[in-house]
Structure 1
Amino acid sequence: MIPGMGAVATTFVAGVEAVRKGFATPIGSLTQMGTVRLGRRTESRAPKVNEFVPLAGLNDLVFTGWDIFEDDMYAAASNAGVLERALLDQVKPFLSSIQPRKAVFDHNYVKRLDGPNVKKGKNKMDLVEQVRQDIRDFKKSSGASRLVMIWCGSTETFIEQGPAHQSVKAFEKALTQNDESIAPSMIYAYASLSEGVPFGNGAPNLTVDVPAMHELSRRNEAPICGKDFKTGQTLIKTILAPGFKARLLGLSGWYSTNILGNRDGEVLDDPGSFKTKEESKLGVLEHILQPRLYPELYGNIFHKVRINYYPPRG
């Protein structure tokens, strides 16, 4: 189940279907191509992850999603322009069958987007109940034995943890009061965890990084994970920085830039959403380099993060 059926979600789902049909190889997939070493290196025992761990097979996966636009996944993938048309057309029947459910959306949290396919409710708790019903309906109609929700929606405007986030009781009260500190991603996460469904956060939003979500996760034994997919600028940092650290090579500065198209880039053109992303990206180097332990090497780094929107060109 995917809130946000844009470029990331449609590329993922199209890729899964292409692999299932034999049109593509699962490049970049740890579960499908990665291996696990057993015993000593000399024993040459390295089964694939999906052979060693009891994971659901690709053929067992079913999908649904929510989006503020009414395009099915084929139309959305075509508009995103990430995948070649020839590949998209091979999986068109499957992608066309996935229609977006009405989304929980508030323009105040994502100022550069707006769309017609949006849920209405008397308050945020009502919206939670609508998402919970969507979850139940999908589980019944799909026949899935278990579910997982992965946030593939936009980066929301920056929110700091506050009183509404400190416990489930406080969070539920805030939902009924339409508290501004509860963003749409939190509504999805709360609905998901309330149904006992694990939630993965693919954006740097606050979402599940609050005591209320931790409490609900433990209570319903529904795992939470994620703080952005980190597949671009941050990925490069996490590859290079450990190398510098291992060799104890000092740094005086780090300039990071992303050039993004599609909705992700458009949304991050807004200062509020950019700040959410910036906070996440700035923290990576500090975590890896540990400037407090190595002040001579990393204690005075000038770290600049830039994200520039460049409209997609296909």
Structure 2
Amino acid sequence: MADEPTGLWLIGARGSVATTAISGLLALRAGLAPPTGCVTERPDLAGAPLPGWDDLVVGGHDVVDTALVKRAEQLADSGVVPHRLLGPIAAGLRAADEEIREGYHPVTHRGSQADAARRLGADIADFRERHGLARVVVVNVSSTEPPVPATPEHDDLALLEEALADPARAVLPPSSVAAYAALLAGCPFVDFTPSTGIALAALDQLARRERLPYAGRDGKTGETLLRTVLAPMFTARALRVRSWAGTNLLGGGDGATLEDPAHADSKIVSKARGLAALLGDDVTAPLHIDNVPDLGEQKTAWDHVSFEGFLGARMSLQLTWTGLDSSLAAPLVLDLARLVAAAHAAGEVGALGALAFFFKDPLGSDEHRFAEQTRELYRWAGELG
């Protein structure tokens, strides 16, 4: 219900996106910034029973110990957080820092993954109880992981739980351990990354057993957002797209992570799937991701679209998108926390396909056309009350 105290538990709580989201939340509460980029503040969603900014309490897990105040200062130097906000939000950042616990790291963890999940879940349950929260929404904004090979345990909850209890096995990647822990703690889960996370049949079974909603995956903030708007235009006008090539240049933590081809594969697959759904598998769609440390938090995406018109006339469209990814992602994280909290309060269970609007690779929906996703979001939110 609206106005109930609600937890926002961030996996990767000291990363760029999380720090920007926390900083923005503090600024919104204090009236120091307008809710630019926050979809839940649009008039179309005014009737949805969402928790307010003052109702959100922040905590999280991370494997790094950089203080949030320090991260916010770094983001201010990159143009993400205004310098004028650092003083007014410093106390709030320090308070949020006190609610961040050590995350799961497979290299340093001793014991079974079931033990790790119990510890993570206990952290969230303690947070919920200490603050008297009606519910906690867990949002994964940690670094992108490489794809993981499928195993029988990923498709069957009983097999998965048996494997998780074996200290000699690591059957789940960290993002999925976090999802498993959240569900066991009775919390809805949002995967804002292209990592495996909750996108396993066994975890869907667990979510349904525990009567919990979830959403994901891979937040749609820049190049893919443009593609889901523009690709339907070509289809509607009966223009044949021959190829759609893209190049992403980025720095910061994402750039460093995605420099590893194994990690980049998750992002490339996620971005390509939507374009294939919109235009068909026969469209050539090469995509490159390059780390350019000098760019810092900035990301530049360049696309070249080759298309064919009447009588085979060859034409092209080129576009460039330059943005601060954390600034684009952070308000969506806050939106998703509010919307998924409302879905949980309304008793919804399983993948929230109506939230496809927010994701490159939406769970629970095959719809990738942005206009249709927008209409579905508004329809769904209007029925929550």
Q: Structure 2-normalised TM-score?
A: 0.70
Partner amino acid, structure 1, of 2:55: D
Whose strand proportion is higher, 1 or 2?
2
User: Residue 97 of structure 1: SS of its match in structure 2?
Assistant: helix
Give the whole-Å Cα distance in 1 for the aligned partners of 2:226 and 2:86. Answer: 29
8 A contact 1:159–1:181 mirrored in 2:
no
Q: Does 181-190 or 229-238 show the bigger shift?
A: 229-238
SS at match of 2:286: strand
Secondary structure (helix, strand or coil) at the match of 2:58 reads: coil
1:135-154 to 2 correspondence within 5 Å? 135-154=124-143
Deviation larger for 74-83 or 235-244:
74-83
Q: 2:20 aligned with 1:11, yes or no?
A: yes
One of 285, 290, 298 as aligned partner of 1:308: 290
> Offset of 1:239 from its aligned partner?
1.7
The aligned runs of 1:78-117 (5 Å cut-off) are 78-80=73-75, 81=78, 82-99=80-97, 100-106=100-106
Deviation string 1:68-121 (CA, Å, 9 cap, x unpaired) is 1112322222234321222233211101222231011236xxxxxxxxxx6x33
Q: Shift in Å at residue 58 of structure 1?
A: 0.7
Unaligned runs of 5+ in 2: 1-8, 298-385
- Whether the aligned pair in 1 keeps the contact of 2:241 and 2:279 (CA below 8 Å) is no
CA contact (8 A) 2:72 2:81 kept: yes
Residue type matched to 1:280 in 2? S
Q: SS at 1:244's partner residue?
A: helix
- Pairing of 1:1-314 with structure 2 (within 5 A): 1-5=9-13, 6-32=15-41, 34-36=42-44, 49=45, 51-80=46-75, 81=78, 82-99=80-97, 100-106=100-106, 120-177=109-166, 178-291=168-281, 299=282, 301-311=283-293, 313=296
Give the SS at the match of 1:64: strand
Q: C-alpha separation between the residues in 1 aligned to 2:49 and 2:254?
A: 34
User: Residue by residue, what CA displacement relative to the aligned partner does 1:133-166 show, whole Å, maximum 9, x if unpaired?
Assistant: 1011101222211110000001101113321111
* Matches of 2:95 and 2:128, distance apart in 1: 17
Counting aligned pairs with the same residue, the percent is 32
* 8 Å contact from structure 1 (residues 156, 205) kept in 2: yes
Structure number with higher relative contact order (C-alpha < 8 Å, ≥ 6 residues apart): 2
**Superposition deviation, residue 175 in structure 1:** 1.2
Structure 1 contact 72–97 (Cα < 8 Å) conserved = no
> Once superposed, what is the RMSD of the aligned Cα atoms?
1.7
Structure 1 regions of 5+ residues with no counterpart?
37-48, 108-117, 292-298
- Matched letter for residue 82 of structure 2: E
- CA deviation profile, 1:185-232 (whole Å, cap 9, x unmatched): 111100111122100001111221211111011111111110101212
Quick one: structure 1 residues 278 and 189, their matched pair in 2 at CA, closer, same or farther if it must change by over 3 Å? same
d(CA) in 1 for partners of 2:203, 2:116 = 17
Query: Aligned partners of 1:125, 1:235: CA distance in 2, in Å?
Result: 37
Distance 1:248 1:196 in 2: 48
Indicate how the Cα distance of structure 1 residues 64 and 93 shifts in structure 2: closer, same or farther if over 3 A, else same.
same
Aligned residue number for residue 312 of structure 2 = none
